[in-house]
Amino acid sequence: MTFTPDFSEFEKNYGEGRAQLVWRSLVSDLETPVSAFLKLAGGRRNAILLESVEGGEQLGRYSIIGFKPDILWRSFGGRSQINRNAASDASAFVDEEGAPLVNLKRLFAESEIKPPPGASPPSLPPMAAGVFGYLGYDMVRQMEHLGPRPTGGLDAPDAIFMRPTLVAVFDNVGQEISLFAPVRPEPGVSARAAYARAGERLADAAENLAAPLALPVAERLPASQNIDITSDTDETGFRSMVARAKDYITAG
């Protein structure tokens, strides 16, 4: 199985300390974004499926699937928390100092992947990698002075974001799925090992897409022999309604 870029180019960028993408594309004329999501991320926590819609009615070109995050970030009120061990422990959040929006911007900057200076960026779908999530209504309190927060509610985070280590971009026009594995240099991890890990993630995803979709079988409940059936209309009234409907049809 081959990937882009080749190892020599990857090794050069890795040695320069650059974050980069490793990817491959697959034909997807028999898949839908939903079936691809179920095969790749079904049953996983912290997975996303984003559909692009233009004008509120027309389906856009790309659908984005992201899963297996290495970082999770969330905000409650005026504080934020980050989990840099999300791959092994989804609950390992630690408190951050400073304003939530400042911390979120720092995460965005840290996660940016740029082409090397002077290099032409490859022709890739948008959002091949990044930080994905939502800003809830109450995050406006980080930007404007408002009254006290309402009490009660769902106790959900005001915002939560994830940085996937595997992103699948479904091209609804080209009928292909591009699989992306972001790679960021790590101390003590060689370029060869990092490239192999990215390749394993991509190969596993491709294998899952090639497999049939395992749908759960609905539980079959025993039929009851003593079923009381009631109706809000008696037989005479029902026959009268049918007769009127026939008259309407005949009358056009």
18-73 confidence digits (pLDDT tens):
999 999 999 988 888 889 999 998 888 899 999 876 566 677 889 999 999 999 99
Please report the pLDDT score of residue 192 as a whole number: 97
- Measured CA to CA, the distance from residue 125 to residue 39 in angstroms comes to 21
- Measured CA to CA, the distance from residue 205 to residue 201 in angstroms comes to 6
Level-2 CATH architecture, domain 7-210: 4-Layer Sandwich (3.60)
Phi–psi pair at 133, nearest 5 degrees: 175, -155
| Vertex 96: Cα angle to 182 and 110 (nearest 5) | 25
CA 233 to chain centre: 49
% of the chain at pLDDT higher than 90: 60
Would the pLDDT of 242 be above 70? yes
Residue extents of the structural domains in the chain: 7-210
pLDDT band at residue 148 using 50, 70 and 90 as cut-offs: confident
Output 67 or 226, whichever has higher pLDDT.
Answer: 67
Tokens at 78, concatenated: 């005026």
Question: Average pLDDT of the chain?
Answer: 89
Please report the pLDDT score of residue 1 as a whole number: 72
pLDDT band at residue 200 using 50, 70 and 90 as cut-offs: very high
Would the pLDDT of 222 be above 80? no
Which residue in this structure is represented by tokens 């009851």?
Answer: 224
Least confident residue range of 150-159, 205-214, 229-238: 150-159
pLDDT in tens, 74-119: 999 889 999 999 999 999 999 999 999 999 999 999 999 988 776 6
Would the pLDDT of 224 be above 80? no
Output the DSSP codes for the chain: ---BS-HHHHHHHHHTT--EEEEEEEE-TT--HHHHHHHHHTT-SS-EEEEEEETTTEEEEEEEEEEEEEEEEEEETTEEEEETTTTT-TT--EE--S-HHHHHHHHHHHH---PPTTPPPP---TTSS--EEEE-GGGGGGTS---PPPS-S----SEEEEEEEEEEEEETTTTEEEEEEEE---TT--HHHHHHHHHHHHHHHHHHHHSPP-PPPPPPPPPPS------SS-HHHHHHHHHHHHHHHHH-
Would the pLDDT of 140 be above 70? yes
Please report the pLDDT score of residue 120 as a whole number: 66
Please report the pLDDT score of residue 43 as a whole number: 81
